[in-house]
């Protein structure tokens, strides 16, 4: 049972996702490590003082390029890294053999030829060319290359993590990856498990904040428009869900526009009334018809109210999620309280911006009425904007009931 999404998942779907995720992460780790090592090797070639060392590092850079190309062509990572390790060992042996020859020549000049012959045994060359004693291994570039190739750890368990950890809404991110792997989701109209839900405004807003933050995290880290495996409808629907949280910024404009007209006479749209309504009304009618068709008869008004009324929460979600993804700012996992969430008194701190907005809208209506009475405002525009403000206040009014709600009681349960 997939808690949080009210979904039942097939075990093999999660196992497949975990294995594919492990392979993908391993491939990315190896390729990233090799790219970093390639850059450092190129710098080391320019700084190397000995010709033999320069030649070995140059050939190592070419070997890394070949390994990256093979991985890009889909060859098994284990085979590619094994060949690259063997090539690095071979290059190391060449350098060691050359050094021993030079050492032998120096010993001959000192009259210690017997020691020189012993130093050039194959066993010693192989030992000195190993990962630990190789003269090339003294270079950071080689060490990083070898670390990047160290993907086999037979002495420890390999963690397979099917759950997506890129977001605090791990259920949505995991579901999107499952869809990308070709799995289908089917709606089952039957209650299979009873769960707990927040019973107070503070807990409910905490839950919605986490939803918003996590959804925006997924959008910024794993945009569904570019996720391989998703169908076009899936891409559009996932993107629509994620993009919806940006509506908080548009709502600010939607709320400020009538205030500017009623108080200062600033027109939100520079157009005559007839051309404007000829374009605006068909759009609004089509918009509402799409709501009716998509919802298949289910009521959507409450959702529209919350979409407008929670605009500060949506803005906070976008800002904090972006700061986390791009700036590394911590984003704590806000667990939704499931018990003890009943409010004992009115707490307006979580909706203070909505309270201020409602007050400003009321003041704007009064100002607009005064300007109209003094014949300083246009009649039709004033009435339209007052109606606009009325719609905003009705939408914001959904929070009044939420603030007053004291939680689900046992008496309500018995009545049902």
Q: What confidence tens digit (pLDDT) does each residue in 153-173 have?
A: 555 555 667 888 888 888 889
Within 8 A by CB and 6+ apart from 181, the residues are 13, 16, 17, 20, 229
Instruction: Read off the pLDDT band of 242 (50, 70, 90).
Output: very high
Place of tokens 């993908």: 24
Strands (E), 108-267: none
Q: Which residues of 78-116 are buried (b: 16+ CB within 10 A; e: fewer)?
A: eebbeebbebbeebbbbbbbbbbeeebeebeeeeeeeeb
pLDDT higher than threshold 80 for residue 399: yes
Q: Tell me the C-alpha distance between 251 and 327, whole Å.
A: 26
Top pLDDT among 181 and 155 is at: 181
Within 8 A by CB and 6+ apart from 310, the residues are 205, 208, 248
What's the average model confidence in pLDDT over 381-392?
Answer: 92
Q: Where are the domains of the chain?
A: 11-149, 171-187+196-415
pLDDT higher than threshold 90 for residue 263: yes
Within 8 A by CB and 6+ apart from 222, the residues are 166, 173, 176
pLDDT higher than threshold 70 for residue 117: no
Instruction: Read off the pLDDT band of 346 (50, 70, 90).
Output: low
Q: Tell me the C-alpha distance between 220 and 280, whole Å.
A: 32
Long-range contacts of 33-38 (CB under 8 A, 24+ apart): 33/144, 33/145, 33/147, 33/148, 33/149, 34/64, 34/67, 34/68, 34/145, 34/148, 35/68, 36/144, 36/148, 37/64, 37/141, 37/142, 37/144, 37/145, 37/148, 38/64, 38/65, 38/68
Considering 94-98, 248-252, 400-404, 409-413, the range whose residues carry the highest mean pLDDT is: 248-252
Place of tokens 């291994």: 137
Top pLDDT among 114 and 268 is at: 268
What mean pLDDT is reported for the chain? 80
Within 8 A by CB and 6+ apart from 84, the residues are 63, 64, 66, 67, 145, 149
Beta carbons of 260 and 268 less than 8 angstroms apart: yes
pLDDT higher than threshold 90 for residue 236: yes
CA atoms within 13 A on the CB side of 340: 0
Beta carbons of 398 and 306 less than 8 angstroms apart: yes
What's the average model confidence in pLDDT over 25-35?
Answer: 84
Q: Where are the alpha helices (DSSP H) in 74-198?
A: 77-109, 113-119, 122-128, 140-149, 170-180
Beta carbons of 243 and 219 less than 8 angstroms apart: yes
Q: Tell me the C-alpha distance between 32 and 19, whole Å.
A: 20
Beta carbons of 145 and 151 less than 8 angstroms apart: no
What's the confidence (pLDDT) of residue 234? Answer: 95
Please report which helix (H) or strand (E) contains residue 283, including its range: helix 273-295
pLDDT higher than threshold 90 for residue 295: no
> Helices then strands (H, E): number in the chain?
17, 0
The alpha carbon torsion through 240, 243, 248, 249 (nearest 10 deg) reads: -130
């Amino acid at each position: 049972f997939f808690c949080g999404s009210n979904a039942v998942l097939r075990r093999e779907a999660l196992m497949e996702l975990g294995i594919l995720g492990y392979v993908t992460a391993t491939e990315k780790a190896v390729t990233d490590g090799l790219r970093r090592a390639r850059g450092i090797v190129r710098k080391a070639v320019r700084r190397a003082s000995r010709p033999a060392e320069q030649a070995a590092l140059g050939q190592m850079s070419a070997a890394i390029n070949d390994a990256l190309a093979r991985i890009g062509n889909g060859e098994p990572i284990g085979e590619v890294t094994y060949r690259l390790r063997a090539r690095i060992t071979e290059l190391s042996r060449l350098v060691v053999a050359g050094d021993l020859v030079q050492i032998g020549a120096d010993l001959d000049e000192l009259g210690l030829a017997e020691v020189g012959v012993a130093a050039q045994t194959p066993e010693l060359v192989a030992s000195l060319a190993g990962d630990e004693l190789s003269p090339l291994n003294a270079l950071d570039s080689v060490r990083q290359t070898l670390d990047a190739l160290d993907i086999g750890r037979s002495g420890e368990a390999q963690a397979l993590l099917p759950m997506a950890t890129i977001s605090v809404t791990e259920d949505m991110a995991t579901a999107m990856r499952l869809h990308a792997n070709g799995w289908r989701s089917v709606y089952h109209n039957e209650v299979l498990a009873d769960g707990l839900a927040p019973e107070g405004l503070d807990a409910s807003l905490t839950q919605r904040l986490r939803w918003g933050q996590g959804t925006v995290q997924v959008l910024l880290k794993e945009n569904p428009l570019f996720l391989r495996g998703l169908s076009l409808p899936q891409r559009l629907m996932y993107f629509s869900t994620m993009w919806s949280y940006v509506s908080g910024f548009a709502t600010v404009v939607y709320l400020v526009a009538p205030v500017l007209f009623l108080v200062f006479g600033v027109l939100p749209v520079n157009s005559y009334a007839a051309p404007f309504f000829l374009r605006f009304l068909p759009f609004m009618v089509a918009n509402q018809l799409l709501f009716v068709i998509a919802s298949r008869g289910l009521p959507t008004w409450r959702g529209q109210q919350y979409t407008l009324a929670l605009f500060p929460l949506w803005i906070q979600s976008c800002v904090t999620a972006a700061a986390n993804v791009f700036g590394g700012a911590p984003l704590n996992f806000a667990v939704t309280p499931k018990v003890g969430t009943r409010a004992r008194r009115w707490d307006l701190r979580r909706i203070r911006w909505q309270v201020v907005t409602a007050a400003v809208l009321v003041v704007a209506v009064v100002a607009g009425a005064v300007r109209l009475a003094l014949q300083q405002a246009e009649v039709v525009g004033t009435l339209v904007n007052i109606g606009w403000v009325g719609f905003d206040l009705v939408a914001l009014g959904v929070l009044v009931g939420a603030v007053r709600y004291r939680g689900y009681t046992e008496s309500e349960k018995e009545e049902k």
